């Protein structure tokens, strides 16, 4: 128990909550072991303050003897020395003894606690049988002593008095008593923790809220909040303890940032003192008491505060088994400390920070190695590699500062600086004194000699590179390699340096980092120059000379290096070949003419737009482009096949990046950078803690690019050297000066032989140096063709209208043929399309680029069959154009004459009109045969004309009077004027046609019609057939009379004589004056023969009876298509009609009106009935068909069915019988309609009045 009397030492891992023990110390000593062991066995749920989540904790206690000095004095905020519970132990069972001594001692103890404001106490009364035996006479019952103590001291807090029975025995009563006591102690301890910690946190927060007041000290507040962290750590609540240190870290960081922004705090002055010691972090002690005391005294530097704070965070993180978070926080700490020293403008010796960072990195790594095995460290090297790399970088900085990274030995000044830096480290700490690989020893050894430094630096560098490579961070590995390259350059070893620089260059080129790329290339150029690799050095110099990231003077220096080598006179057969893209870029290629196609022997120019990347003007002895030639095997009838393969628009743009910057130059654009703002706000007051920018499409931007770029693209690390392939075809130009920027160079391309010419390579010669572009991408080329003459004839305007003079354009492409004087075109003449004579016809001659060469008047001579056109002399591959006026005669429909023959001997077929699917106009194809002087074959051409009119005719009858109507419809888009409209009959002079057309000129608009009417008058008999000719003159509107052209339309009218007259009458029922709806009426039909039987009728359908009377059979049918009438009984029948004039036959049919009003008469049809003996028409004329109802006669003959009801026909000419009989050729009866005008129906438009029925109807009408 001697240790219980000592003052507790702040050493958190061994600290326990203090519990004071008063009363019988011997009694407590006998129970101490059991109490200390059993108290932490059972966990208790603790609900902390400020909304902390409940946790299960195991309570331990440091039992010490009660002394008044242990009670906290006012203003003392130390929690570790605070007694959380006070216990009074007694086993008194004697009344006298209780009254004489125990009661007074308890009273003094309680008064002392009350005077210090402590209310956390408990009285434990221990009862044993041994005590009872010793004092049998004076003892009282236990309940009496307990009641007395409770009444004296625990009047209102009976639970503060606990009885422990037989604690040293192993009985059920003893176990139960122990459990009750332990539960009471745990409960009281937790209550005391909650109350005192809550009060402490309130005071701490009150102190923090006063931080804006003058005189507030961060160090004082630091010690207060650390007390709270110590208590949480004492309770093994390491997460809560870590939160306290993180809050202190954040608070201090905010003050430093505010200081940098101009908001200063007085207490920060102590942290701005110059740094005197840079011994690094100390993580091997749970608490660095020296630094804690300096913080408590307010004498700590910035590095001391940060080191102590991080050491405490490191200890807690390791307790929480989160060692990899230690490395992450350490790397942030080291970088932040460097920045904070700059913000606070703290004076630091050169190299001191590098020493501190180096030692701290190694200390953290050694601490992690001490708590993790090698397998864990290897698997989690991604967390530690940052510290390795940072330590490597700082060691390199120290080596450069102390003169250890050079070919020379360190100077005296370097040695003095090294001594000063080592002095600032102080003595080695006792924790690492026995370690051979301690950070202190490593740094001291590395700075002791050049060899030791190189060994340690290479060891760290290679370790960092291997770790980066193991975790796939190739960029970082190459960055460490670049640092190694700089080290080797300083050591005079350029060969090793170049290897690492080339690796770094690959990353910069593939990812497009222009400035690091430029810097690395300069270092590579230095290495190549030292190693004597001339071609590589010149290639790199060319890249640097065109690099815009360098100054003009630097670029001129590297270009002068190239010129110096180019001016040397060496072996002319051996020239240094460099990439063209580092010297100049082909940005645009343009062909003249723009079609990139020229005839054999023609002139074609190729204009190259070169962007010189050099800083000064460059004189080029020769600029050449090699050509790959493919002979055209496609013949000379048209252009070569290569013209179809390579289609150029005349100008080709080459989208190239900057080769010196190493940016990828593929045509595909990179994804657009998508950025978004990220804000970190405090969960308590929603205040902004930090803000940043995050890229949302990093998966598209940061990825490995496929190597699918074409050859010679400038995203290569070092463009390959290529040789110029000499060929028979070359584009060359001598003595060209390229100015910085864009330059235009014009070549004259060879065009002697037809074929495809592809540009493959480009070469610029500057002295002994050749800049070669191995492949021009995309592929470009031009075509040289040989073409046969071509003659085309096309309308000058669409469409060509028949009947009007139309202009057609003749276009002659001379091709390789030279039109000589005397050459002529021979056109075959045609009656249907004559070529109209012209007084002046001019031919235009132009070049392939449509430049006018000249004009010449054509000489046109026409004969009966041929029109000869003399052509003016025309050079090859020129275009000759002239126009001729032609007229397509509109066919009249008359009989075609015998076929003619064309000039080439072929039979000229008469043009036939046909309907065109794209226009309502009727089309006529006119073929033309042309004999050309360059060919033994005739050229056959076709012109399509369109008839602007559609003409229809019809025969109208009014009794015996006849009328002819002609309809002219304008189906074109042109408005016409019709004049001198006539109708003539050619075969009968006695026939007179009286016109009802009063206007001499009529307007015929587009898509409109004009109707003309004539009455036919005759003297003797009306002929059965009329041959008519409709004629008119037409011209487009608003033109003079000379522009009128004739138009003829021939047609034939057959069977125009009226044979029968049909009259009908509807009679009302008997007793009625008018017809009524629903009552049956009589329809009386009277059919009258008007003329005698003609000769044609006798041979066709007449028949002679036994009495010598000639008759013919007629079929009648009554039908009402408008549903006004219902036919009752039979609706059709057959009659034998005498063939003499005025013969009449009457038929009565019952009909019933279905509606009231003036109803039109039912439709009455009269058809010819041809018996089965009549000749069967092989093909009825569809134009003469009249729609009728179908016959429903199946197996019986029509003679047997003559009186049946409802004989119907639905065809023009119908045979009655089965289809099989017709197919076997058996003659069957049939019906045939009369021609228009042969039957005149007088009642066709007649109406009859029909009254409604007489039934009475009741109608209800409501009147209001």
**CA separation for the pair 926, 1148 (Å, rounded):** 61
pLDDT of 728 reads 60
**CA separation for the pair 647, 532 (Å, rounded):** 48
Task: Report residue 391's pLDDT band, with 50, 70 and 90 as the boundaries.
Answer: very high
Residue 460 lies in a domain: no
pLDDT of 1177 reads 46
Provide long-range contacts, Cβ within 8 A and 24+ apart, for 417-420: 417/350, 417/351, 418/447, 420/349
Residue 544 lies in a domain: no
- Under a CB-based contact definition with an 8 Å cutoff, are residues 331 and 386 in contact? yes
Three-class SS state of 42? coil
Virtual CA dihedral for 90, 95, 101, 106, nearest 10 degrees? 50
Picking from 1151, 1157, 1160, 1156, the residue whose alpha carbon sits closest to that of residue 1126 is 1151
91 vs 310 pLDDT, higher one: 310
Q: Which of 127-141, 503-517, 906-920, 1225-1239 has the lowest mean pLDDT?
A: 127-141
Residue range of the domain that includes 995? 949-1054
- Under a CB-based contact definition with an 8 Å cutoff, are residues 795 and 823 in contact? no
Residue 436: pLDDT over 80: no
- Under a CB-based contact definition with an 8 Å cutoff, are residues 217 and 300 in contact? no
Picking from 774, 836, 825, the residue whose alpha carbon sits closest to that of residue 939 is 825
Contacts of 989 (CB under 8 A, 6+ apart): none
- Under a CB-based contact definition with an 8 Å cutoff, are residues 193 and 55 in contact? no
Instruction: Clarify whether residues 153 and 61 are in a common domain.
Output: yes
Sequence-ordered strand ranges (E) for 1090-1140: 1102-1104, 1110-1119, 1125-1128, 1132-1138
Angle (CA) 903-907-911 rounded to 5° is 105
Contacts of 934 (CB under 8 A, 6+ apart): 788, 789, 817
Q: Which of 136-150, 205-219, 387-401, 854-868 has the lowest mean pLDDT?
A: 136-150
Of the chain, the percentage scoring pLDDT greater than 70 comes to 83
pLDDT digits (tens, 9 = 90+) for 1178-1212: 444 433 333 333 333 333 333 444 443 333 333 33
H helix runs in 435-513, sequence order: 439-446, 450-470, 474-490, 494-511
Residue 1142 lies in a domain: yes
Residue 1262: pLDDT over 80: no
Picking from 1018, 1000, 1002, the residue whose alpha carbon sits closest to that of residue 1010 is 1002
Residue 934 lies in a domain: yes
**CA separation for the pair 165, 125 (Å, rounded):** 8
- Under a CB-based contact definition with an 8 Å cutoff, are residues 929 and 905 in contact? no
pLDDT of 112 reads 86
Can you tell me which residue has the tokens 């004189």? 619
Residue 644: pLDDT over 50: no
Q: Which helix (H) or strand (E) holds 976?
A: strand 976-985
- Under a CB-based contact definition with an 8 Å cutoff, are residues 348 and 341 in contact? yes
Q: Which of 678-692, 873-887, 997-1011 has the lowest mean pLDDT?
A: 678-692
Q: Which helix (H) or strand (E) holds 652?
A: strand 651-653
- Under a CB-based contact definition with an 8 Å cutoff, are residues 1052 and 1028 in contact? yes
Q: Which helix (H) or strand (E) holds 1086?
A: strand 1081-1089
Quote the crossing angle between the two packed helices 450-470 and 439-446, to the nearest 10°: 120
**CA separation for the pair 662, 224 (Å, rounded):** 58
Task: Report residue 186's pLDDT band, with 50, 70 and 90 as the boundaries.
Answer: confident
Task: Report residue 389's pLDDT band, with 50, 70 and 90 as the boundaries.
Answer: very high
Of 425-434, 694-703, 760-769, give the range with the top mean pLDDT.
760-769
Q: Residue 625 CA to chain centroid, in angstroms? A: 40
Instruction: Compute the average pLDDT of residues 558-582.
Output: 80
Q: Which of 97-106, 239-248, 326-335, 993-1002 has the lowest mean pLDDT?
A: 97-106
Instruction: Compute the average pLDDT of residues 569-591.
Output: 81
Question: Residue 1241: how many CA atoms within 13 Å on its side-chain side?
Answer: 18
Task: Report residue 1008's pLDDT band, with 50, 70 and 90 as the boundaries.
Answer: very high
Q: What are phi and psi of 730, to 5 degrees?
A: -140, 145
The pTM of this model reads 0.56
819 vs 1106 pLDDT, higher one: 819
Sequence-ordered strand ranges (E) for 145-258: 161-165
pLDDT digits (tens, 9 = 90+) for 253-291: 998 888 888 888 888 888 888 888 888 888 888 888 888
Instruction: Compute the average pLDDT of residues 761-778.
Output: 87
Of the chain, the percentage scoring pLDDT greater than 90 comes to 16
Picking from 1062, 876, 842, 822, the residue whose alpha carbon sits closest to that of residue 959 is 1062
Instruction: Clarify whether residues 853 and 812 are in a common domain.
Output: yes
- Under a CB-based contact definition with an 8 Å cutoff, are residues 857 and 842 in contact? yes
Give me 938's structure tokens: 């005739």
Q: Residue 191 CA to chain centroid, in angstroms? A: 65
Three-class SS state of 1155? coil
CATH number at residue 1017: 2.60.40.1230
Chosen domain end from 886, 918, 947:
947
Instruction: Clarify whether residues 11 and 42 are in a common domain.
Output: yes
Residue 1042 region by backbone torsions, left for phi larger than 0, else alpha for psi between -120 and 50, else beta: alpha
DSSP code at position 803: T
Residue 199 lies in a domain: yes
Largest CA distance in the chain: 183
Picking from 756, 821, 823, the residue whose alpha carbon sits closest to that of residue 789 is 823
pLDDT of 1105 reads 56
**CA separation for the pair 953, 1013 (Å, rounded):** 10
**CA separation for the pair 745, 736 (Å, rounded):** 8
**CA separation for the pair 994, 997 (Å, rounded):** 9
DSSP code at position 427: S
Instruction: Clarify whether residues 202 and 119 are in a common domain.
Output: yes
pLDDT digits (tens, 9 = 90+) for 67-101: 887 887 776 667 777 888 888 888 887 777 878 88
- Under a CB-based contact definition with an 8 Å cutoff, are residues 731 and 611 in contact? no
Instruction: Clarify whether residues 876 and 803 are in a common domain.
Output: yes
Instruction: Compute the average pLDDT of residues 567-572.
Output: 66
Q: How far apart are the first and last CA of the chain?
A: 123
**CA separation for the pair 310, 283 (Å, rounded):** 8
CA 1188, 1189, 1195, 1199 dihedral sign is negative
Instruction: Clarify whether residues 773 and 726 are in a common domain.
Output: yes
pLDDT of 1179 reads 42
Give me 148's structure tokens: 């007395």
Number of separate domains in the chain: 5
pLDDT of 462 reads 93
Instruction: Clarify whether residues 1017 and 1083 are in a common domain.
Output: no
Instruction: Clarify whether residues 1041 and 1111 are in a common domain.
Output: no
Instruction: Compute the average pLDDT of residues 870-899.
Output: 79
Residue 225 lies in a domain: no
Instruction: Clarify whether residues 937 and 968 are in a common domain.
Output: no
Q: Which of 211-220, 589-598, 722-731 has the lowest mean pLDDT?
A: 722-731
Picking from 177, 182, 158, the residue whose alpha carbon sits closest to that of residue 166 is 177
H helix runs in 320-428, sequence order: 323-343, 352-371, 374-379, 381-401, 412-423
- Under a CB-based contact definition with an 8 Å cutoff, are residues 196 and 82 in contact? yes
- If you average pLDDT over every residue of the chain, what do you get? 80
**CA separation for the pair 182, 176 (Å, rounded):** 10
Instruction: Clarify whether residues 45 and 171 are in a common domain.
Output: yes
**CA separation for the pair 613, 742 (Å, rounded):** 9
- Under a CB-based contact definition with an 8 Å cutoff, are residues 1111 and 1089 in contact? no
DSSP code at position 1014: E
- Under a CB-based contact definition with an 8 Å cutoff, are residues 1221 and 1197 in contact? no
Beta bridge partners of 940: 929
Chosen domain end from 947, 978, 995:
947
Question: ω into residue 970 within 30 of 0, thus cis?
Answer: no
pLDDT of 595 reads 84
pLDDT of 667 reads 36
pLDDT of 639 reads 42
- Complete DSSP assignment for 714-765: TTSSSPPP------S-EEEEEEEEEPSEEEEEEEEEP-SS-EEEEEEEEEEE
CATH number at residue 731: 2.70.50
Residue 229 lies in a domain: no
pLDDT of 1259 reads 52
How many C-beta neighbours within 10 Å does residue 512 have? 16
Instruction: Clarify whether residues 173 and 32 are in a common domain.
Output: yes
pLDDT of 94 reads 76
Q: Which of 131-140, 164-173, 368-377, 576-585 has the lowest mean pLDDT?
A: 131-140
Picking from 1169, 1168, 1192, 1178, the residue whose alpha carbon sits closest to that of residue 1225 is 1178
Instruction: Clarify whether residues 648 and 764 are in a common domain.
Output: yes
pLDDT of 312 reads 92
Residue 623 lies in a domain: yes
Of 50-64, 687-701, 990-1004, 1195-1209, give the range with the top mean pLDDT.
990-1004
Chosen domain end from 947, 977, 995:
947
CA 659, 665, 669, 671 dihedral sign is negative
DSSP code at position 582: G
898 vs 48 pLDDT, higher one: 48
């Amino acid at each position: 128990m001697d240790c219980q009397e000592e003052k507790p030492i702040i050493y958190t891992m061994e600290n326990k909550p203090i519990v004071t023990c008063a009363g019988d110390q011997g009694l407590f000593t006998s129970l101490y072991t059991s109490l200390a062991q059993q108290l932490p066995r059972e966990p208790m749920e603790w609900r902390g303050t400020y909304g902390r989540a409940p946790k299960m904790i195991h309570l331990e206690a440091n039992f010490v003897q009660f002394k008044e000095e242990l009670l906290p004095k006012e203003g003392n905020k130390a929690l570790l020395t605070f007694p959380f519970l006070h216990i009074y132990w007694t086993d008194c069972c004697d009344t006298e003894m209780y009254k004489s001594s125990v009661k007074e001692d308890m009273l003094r103890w309680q008064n002392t606690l009350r005077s210090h404001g402590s209310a956390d106490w408990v009285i434990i009364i221990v009862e044993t049988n041994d005590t009872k035996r010793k004092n049998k006479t004076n003892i009282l019952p236990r309940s009496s002593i307990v009641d007395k103590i409770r009444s004296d001291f625990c009047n209102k807090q009976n639970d503060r008095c606990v009885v422990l029975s037989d604690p040293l025995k192993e009985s059920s009563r003893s176990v139960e008593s122990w459990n009750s006591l332990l539960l009471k102690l745990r409960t009281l301890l937790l209550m005391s923790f909650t109350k005192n910690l809550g009060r402490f946190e309130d005071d701490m927060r009150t102190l923090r809220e006063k931080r804006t007041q003058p005189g507030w000290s961060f160090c004082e507040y630091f010690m207060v909040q650390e007390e709270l962290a110590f208590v949480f750590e004492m309770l093994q609540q390491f997460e809560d303890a870590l939160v306290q240190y993180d809050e202190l870290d954040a608070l201090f960081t905010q003050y430093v940032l505010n200081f940098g922004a101009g908001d200063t705090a007085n207490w920060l002055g102590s942290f701005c003192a110059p740094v005197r010691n840079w011994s690094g972090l100390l993580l091997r002690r749970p608490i660095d008491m020296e630094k804690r005391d300096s913080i408590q005294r307010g004498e700590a530097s910035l590095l001391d505060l940060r080191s102590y704070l991080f050491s405490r965070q490191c200890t807690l993180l390791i307790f929480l088994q989160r060692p990899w978070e230690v490395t992450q926080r350490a790397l942030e700490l080291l970088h932040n400390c460097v920045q904070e020293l700059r913000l606070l403008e703290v004076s630091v010796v050169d190299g001191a920070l590098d020493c501190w960072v180096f030692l701290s990195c190694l200390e953290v790594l050694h601490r992690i190695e001490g708590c993790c095995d090698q397998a864990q460290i290897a698997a989690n090297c991604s967390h530690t590699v940052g510290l390795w790399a940072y330590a490597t970088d700082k060691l390199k900085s120290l080596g450069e500062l102390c003169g250890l990274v050079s070919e020379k030995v360190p100077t005296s000044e370097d040695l003095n600086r090294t001594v000063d830096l080592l002095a600032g480290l102080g003595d080695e700490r006792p924790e690492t004194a026995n370690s051979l690989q301690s950070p202190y020893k490593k740094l001291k050894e590395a700075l002791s000699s050049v060899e030791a430094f190189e060994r340690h630096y290479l060891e760290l560098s290679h370790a960092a590179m291997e770790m980066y490579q193991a975790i796939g961070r190739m960029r970082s590995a190459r960055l460490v390699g670049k640092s190694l390259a700089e080290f080797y350059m300083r050591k005079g070893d350029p060969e090793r340096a170049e290897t690492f620089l080339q690796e770094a260059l690959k990353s910069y080129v593939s990812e497009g980092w222009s400035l690091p790329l430029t810097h690395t290339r300069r270092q590579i150029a230095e290495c190549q120059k030292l190693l004597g690799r001339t071609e590589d050095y010149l290639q790199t110099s060319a890249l640097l000379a065109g690099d815009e990231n360098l100054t003009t003077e630097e670029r001129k220096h590297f270009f002068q290096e190239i010129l110096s080598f180019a001016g040397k006179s060496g072996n002319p057969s051996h020239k240094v070949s460099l990439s063209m893209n580092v010297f100049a870029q082909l940005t645009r290629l343009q062909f003249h003419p723009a079609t990139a196609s020229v005839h054999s022997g023609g002139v074609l120019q190729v204009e190259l737009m070169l962007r010189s990347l050099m800083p000064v003007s460059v004189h080029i002895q020769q600029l050449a482009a090699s050509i790959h030639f493919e002979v055209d095997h496609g013949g000379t009838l048209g252009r070569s096949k290569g013209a179809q393969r390579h289609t150029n628009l005349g100008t080709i743009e080459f989208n190239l990046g900057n080769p010196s910057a190493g940016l990828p130059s593929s045509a595909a654009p990179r994804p657009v950078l998508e950025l978004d703002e990220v804000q970190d706000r405090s969960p308590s007051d929603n205040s902004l803690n930090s803000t940043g920018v995050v890229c949302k499409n990093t998966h598209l931007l940061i990825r490995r690019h496929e190597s699918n770029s074409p050859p010679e693209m400038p995203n290569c690390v070092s463009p390959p050297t290529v040789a110029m392939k000499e060929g028979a075809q070359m584009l060359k130009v001598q003595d060209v000066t390229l100015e910085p920027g864009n330059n235009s160079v014009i070549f004259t391309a060879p065009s002697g032989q037809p074929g495809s010419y592809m540009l493959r390579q480009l070469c610029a010669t500057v002295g002994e140096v050749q800049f070669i572009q191995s492949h021009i991408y995309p592929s470009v080329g031009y075509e040289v063709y040989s073409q046969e003459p071509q003659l085309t004839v096309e309308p000058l305007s669409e469409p060509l209208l028949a009947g009007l003079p139309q202009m057609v354009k003749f276009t002659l492409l001379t091709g390789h043929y030279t039109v000589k004087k005397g050459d002529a075109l021979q056109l075959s003449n045609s009656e249907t399309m004559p070529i109209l004579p012209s007084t002046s016809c001019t031919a235009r001659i132009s070049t392939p680029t449509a430049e006018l060469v000249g004009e010449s008047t054509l000489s046109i001579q026409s004969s009966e069959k041929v029109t000869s056109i003399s052509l003016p002399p025309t050079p090859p591959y020129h275009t000759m154009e002239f126009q001729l006026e032609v007229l397509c005669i509109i066919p009249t429909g008359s009989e075609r004459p015998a076929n003619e023959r064309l000039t080439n001997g072929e039979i000229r077929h008469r043009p036939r009109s046909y309907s065109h699917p794209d226009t309502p106009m009727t089309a006529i194809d006119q073929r033309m045969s042309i004999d050309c002087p360059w060919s033994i074959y005739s050229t056959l051409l076709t012109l399509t004309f369109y008839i602007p009119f559609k003409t229809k005719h019809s025969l109208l009858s009014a009794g015996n009077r006849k009328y002819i109507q002609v309809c002219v419809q304008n189906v074109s888009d042109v408005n016409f004027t019709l004049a001198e409209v006539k109708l003539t009959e050619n075969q009968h002079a006695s026939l007179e046609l009286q016109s009802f057309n009063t206007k001499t000129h009529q307007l015929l608009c587009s898509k409109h019609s004009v109707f003309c009417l004539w009455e036919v008058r005759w003297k003797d008999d009306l002929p059965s057939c009329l041959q008519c000719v409709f004629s008119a003159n037409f011209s487009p509107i608003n033109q003079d009379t000379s522009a009128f052209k004739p138009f003829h339309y021939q047609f034939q009218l057959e069977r125009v004589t009226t044979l029968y007259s049909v009259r009908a009458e509807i009679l009302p029922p008997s007793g009625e004056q008018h017809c009524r709806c629903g009552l049956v009426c009589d329809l009386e039909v009277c059919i009258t023969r008007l003329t005698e039987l003609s000769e044609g009728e006798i041979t066709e359908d007449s028949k002679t009876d036994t009495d010598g009377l000639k008759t013919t059979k007629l079929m009648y049918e009554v039908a009402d298509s408008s549903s006004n009438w219902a036919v009752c009984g039979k609706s059709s029948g057959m009659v034998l009609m005498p063939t003499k004039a005025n013969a009449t036959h009457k038929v009565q049919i019952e009909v019933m009106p279905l509606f009231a009003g003036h109803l039109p008469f039912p439709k009455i049809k009269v058809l010819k009935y041809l018996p089965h003996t009549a000749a069967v028409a092989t093909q009825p004329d569809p134009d003469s068909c009249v729609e009728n109802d179908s016959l429903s006669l199946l197996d019986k003959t029509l003679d047997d069915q003559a009186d049946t009801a409802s004989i119907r026909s639905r065809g023009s000419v119908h045979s009655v019988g089965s289809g099989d009989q017709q197919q076997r050729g058996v003659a069957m009866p049939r019906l045939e309609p009369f021609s228009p005008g042969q039957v005149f129906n007088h009642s066709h438009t007649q109406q009859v009045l029909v009254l409604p029925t007489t039934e009475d109807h009741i109608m209800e009408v409501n009147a209001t």
